[in-house]
Structure 1
Amino acid sequence: MQYGLRRLPLEGLVNARDLGGFPTKDGKMTRYGAAVRSEAPRSITEKDIEALKAYGIKTVIDLRGAEEIERHPSLLCGDESIDYHCCPAFDESVAFAARGKIPFTENFDMAAKYIEMAERRKSWVCNVMTVIAGSEGGVLFNCAMGKDRTGIIAALLLGHAGAYEVDIVADYSVSDQYLAPVYERIFESMRRDMSEREIEKYLPFFLTPPDNMRRLLKHLKDTYGGVTEYLRGCGLGEDTLSRLRAHMIAE
């Protein structure tokens, strides 16, 4: 794989993309190869693994919980050339989903869940960002589908790097496009027991509308003054914040 591609052409990952190539407010650019986001690498091929290592991935951060990992192990775990970290977000709704029991309510609000996670999982955010700041080479971070927990971490990385909100939101929302084939298989299975109208009620749990990310970013700005200030509130020191930004910014 070559640098300069946003979506990575891998056989076993459909939602893998590089966070490089975004302009920053101080006139710089996020660095290709620094951070890659994806869904769980549970179906990647040997060719994919070699491609990721050749791309410079040396650290993998799995944001899933223990039960999810046990059910669908990461095929990047155990490779001696990769520094693998398990940093679970420990979100109860995700734990339910891992057991096939989506905690659905009529007015399910994913953006509110993101805000709740940002407020209640600050130690998790601190742990993940500390690993990234201290990493050598490229970092791949993933959750199950690569959209919610992964989307939060991606937004924080890009926000701290100084990327524009419009680009952060666009990076988040493109998961719908990349995951469309996966969604179709899920919905086809759901159609065996549900009507289309019933399935529509579950869409907020799956989809990544731009407003979800806009609301999270607005909350961070209104409450803390911005992403970097929020990260300070999570316990990240100035040295770690500097290393984190240096990791993300192209020379």
Structure 2
Amino acid sequence: MEKIKYLKRLPFESIKNARDLGGMPTLDGEITSWSKFIRSANLDDITDKDISLLKDLNVSTIIDLRRDDEVYKNHKRLEKINENFSYHQVSLSPRAMRYEEIQRIIDKKDSIGKSYISIIDNYKAIRKVFEILADNDKVTLFHCQEGKDRTGIISMVLYGLANVARSDIIADYEISSANLGYIERYDQDEKGSIFRVTNPYNMKEAISYIIRKYQSFESYLYYAKLDRNSIDKLKKKLIE
């Protein structure tokens, strides 16, 4: 377990795209804490072996960032999660994208990065997620369906609050499409690849939006009405 504690990508058998947020250098010369926050794809097919591994990693809380309709499809499978962990469903994206919105992205009239703005400005959900992250004294795992978009936004804010360099936040975002096997399965010119491949410019656009509108990640969370105590607890947890 001591070796696993310092693995960036975690070796689950049924949970894809799982990695610890620890080990990232900050602009202050610090390093982000290991064994505080884990990001991943969904846990719908979780095995008993992976439940044991989560417990060995000191995970006590699961945050599911998916919509009600996504969770309902697999609510029976989630019984294992509820039985073993403190489970919270907090939808960052209240509705699925409309056909015309999808088509505008395919036609390159809009970007995936632009679509992240509605997630970033969903203040009530953002506040709830970060309250849970701040209040848990053990390890929290947060996930969406594939662990790249909604999960990527939460990871971005955590890294931003820790003062991780923009280039490192973007690089961490890019990894998801490789971890999920999409780089191997989708050609870059295929129509669906725009939704599968975590293009660095998507995250660059999201970060730029936060800095332009809110000046800093801390100010952004404060704007979302996250209290000062929670912000301070998060900053303390994020740094070794």
Identity %: 31
Q: How many corresponding residue pairs?
A: 233
Counterpart amino acid of 1:249? I
Q: Who is 1:71 aligned against? A: 73
1:137-174 residue CA offsets vs partner (Å, 9 max, x unmatched): 00000000000000000100111011111111111110
Q: Who is 2:29 aligned against? A: 27
Q: Who is 1:39 aligned against? A: 41
Query: What is the CA distance between 1:228 and its match in structure 2?
Result: 1.1
Match of 1:89 among 54, 68, 92: 92
Q: Who is 2:146 aligned against? A: 145
Counterpart amino acid of 2:103? F
RMSD between superposed Cα atoms in Å: 2.3
Query: What is the CA distance between 1:182 and its match in structure 2?
Result: 9.3
Query: What is the CA distance between 1:103 and its match in structure 2?
Result: 3.7
Going from structure 1 to structure 2, the CA distance change for 1:183 and 1:92 (only over 3 Å counts) comes to: farther
Counterpart amino acid of 2:10? L
Going from structure 1 to structure 2, the CA distance change for 1:11 and 1:149 (only over 3 Å counts) comes to: same
1:102-150 residue CA offsets vs partner (Å, 9 max, x unmatched): 943322511001123212x011111100110001200000000000000
Distance 2:44 2:123 in 1: 27
Distance 1:91 1:204 in 2: 22
Query: What is the CA distance between 1:201 and its match in structure 2?
Result: 2.1
1:89/1:124 contact within 8 Å kept? yes
Q: Who is 1:240 aligned against? A: 230
Distance 1:182 1:89 in 2: 26
Gap runs ≥5 in structure 1? 188-195
Going from structure 1 to structure 2, the CA distance change for 1:14 and 1:182 (only over 3 Å counts) comes to: farther
Match of 2:197 among 207, 211, 231: 207
Match of 2:217 among 220, 224, 227: 227
Counterpart amino acid of 1:86? Q
2:5/2:35 contact within 8 Å kept? yes
Gap runs ≥5 in structure 2? none
Counterpart amino acid of 2:199? P
Query: What is the CA distance between 1:93 and its match in structure 2?
Result: 2.6
Distance 2:90 2:184 in 1: 26
Going from structure 1 to structure 2, the CA distance change for 1:182 and 1:200 (only over 3 Å counts) comes to: closer
Going from structure 1 to structure 2, the CA distance change for 1:29 and 1:204 (only over 3 Å counts) comes to: same
Distance 1:7 1:43 in 2: 19
Distance 1:164 1:104 in 2: 33
Distance 1:53 1:171 in 2: 25
